[in-house]
Structure 1
Amino acid sequence: MSPANADSLQRTVLAAAVSIVASSGPDDVSLREVARAAGVSHQAPYHHFKDREGLFAAITEEGFSLLADSLHMSQSPTRESMFVAYVQFALRHPGHFRVMFRKDICNLENYPNTLAQADRAFGVLADFVATTLGESASVDEIRLTTTYMWSVAHGLATLLLDGPLEKKIGDIPNVDEFVMNVARLATRALS
């Protein structure tokens, strides 16, 4: 198999796995199911991924890379824009998001490249917060604010994707506006 074909097969398998996770979550994903969805032999995924955890590591690595890029490309350096970019990433990439923070299905410590992408995404987030806080902010203030913003954004993203939010508060006619309003509340709480 040529390198181009191998890369194409790997992308096809990865895309099928991400699609399955997006629609039904990661818990019941098997390499055989992924192969079936990708239209390849049941052994094909094993040419690129040692096992299920290896597949989830690849999804996680790609997800953190996409998240870092999304945060980095956020239009303005405000805490609200970081918050919105984070939630929008989750809503646009549920197949990645539902895997990225699940240590039970992918231990980042076993995958140095994946861990490096996770660190990169967190670094973009921390740098973003540091910029908005200004030069006078202490390391502890940056760390605490980053953790707060990340936690609130992650919680909202999870509730929008998988939680009972709409059942509790009713229909959300404009999700983008809703996310921005929550972002404003979250940043106001920091003032």
Structure 2
Amino acid sequence: MPYHHGDLRRALLDTALEAIGEQGPAALSLRDVARRAGVSHAAPTHHFPDKTALLTALAAEGWSLLADALREAAANEGEFAELGVAYVVFATSHPAHFAVMRAPGLARADDPELEAAMSRARAEMRSGVQRFEAGSTRDADTTALAAWSLVHGLAALILEGAVPLKADADVAEVARAVTARLRPPP
């Protein structure tokens, strides 16, 4: 995807996502991103001084997109489990973002944009848990951790190919069936 005068920063982010999709975040190099984007090897440093800065920007973007997906699921006044469905659908439809978001040590954890995006996503999940646990004596933080563990694990298993999907089954259907287990039995 050669860059043609416009938003170089966005072109670099998109090119990096493509490369991550092929080889994973650890193997990413600024030189390869520049080559793929059709710019000089020094061009990326005008926006990203190093690989970590590029990966941090992608992680922040991913967490922000996840927060938006969770907010949209909550706005539709769906059940709590729909937040989990939104998480799995996000992860499987944005696998490169998801790979960067779950790769410890590749991004700057103290980056203000990244911290803000992560906080927003956590707040959306926390809000859903609080609605779900209203009137319950259960600890909402433990419920949030259990829900996150379930949907994060499911997303990772789908992306790794460990959960083979039938041609006629879509990710949302599988996620909905699994997250239904979050409801107390009748």
Q: Same fold (TM over 0.5)?
A: yes
With structure 1 as the length reference, what TM-score do the two structures score? 0.86
8 A contact 1:77–1:132 mirrored in 2: no
CA distance in structure 1 between the partners assigned to 2:82 and 2:22 by the alignment: 27
| 1:98 counterpart residue number | 99
Q: After alignment, is 170-179 or 21-30 more displaced? A: 170-179
| 2:38 counterpart residue number | 39
Cα gap change, 1:126 to 1:172, in 2 (>3 Å): farther
- Please state how far the C-alpha of 1:71 moved relative to its aligned partner: 0.3
Q: In the comparison of the two structures, how many residue pairs are matched?
A: 179
CA distances 1:49-90 after superposition (whole Å, capped 9, x unpaired): 111110000000100110000000013341210010000000
- Please state how far the C-alpha of 1:24 moved relative to its aligned partner: 2.5
RMSD after superposition? 2.0
SS of 2:59's equivalent in the other structure is helix
CA distance in structure 2 between the partners assigned to 1:172 and 1:189 by the alignment: 30
- Please state how far the C-alpha of 1:190 moved relative to its aligned partner: 8.2
8 A contact 1:36–1:42 mirrored in 2: yes
Cα gap change, 1:97 to 1:190, in 2 (>3 Å): farther
Q: After alignment, is 25-34 or 156-165 more displaced? A: 156-165
| 1:180 counterpart residue number | 176
| 1:152 counterpart residue number | 150
SS of 1:102's equivalent in the other structure is coil
- Please state how far the C-alpha of 1:162 moved relative to its aligned partner: 2.0
- Aligned pairs (5 A) from 1:78-117: 78-109=79-110, 111-117=111-117
Sequence identity of aligned pairs in percent? Answer: 35
Q: Which letter maps to 2:175?
A: V
CA distance in structure 2 between the partners assigned to 1:92 and 1:171 by the alignment: 17
SS of 1:143's equivalent in the other structure is helix
- Please state how far the C-alpha of 1:131 moved relative to its aligned partner: 1.4
- Aligned pairs (5 A) from 1:124-143: 124-134=124-134, 136-137=135-136, 141-143=139-141
CA distance in structure 1 between the partners assigned to 2:30 and 2:136 by the alignment: 47
Cα gap change, 1:21 to 1:190, in 2 (>3 Å): farther
CA distance in structure 2 between the partners assigned to 1:12 and 1:45 by the alignment: 10
- Please state how far the C-alpha of 1:173 moved relative to its aligned partner: 3.8
Question: Which protein has the bigger helix share?
Answer: 1
Q: Which letter maps to 1:180?
A: R
Unpaired runs of 5+ residues, structure 1, are: none
- Aligned pairs (5 A) from 1:159-174: 159-166=157-164, 171=166, 173-174=168-169
SS of 1:29's equivalent in the other structure is coil
Q: Which letter maps to 1:98?
A: A
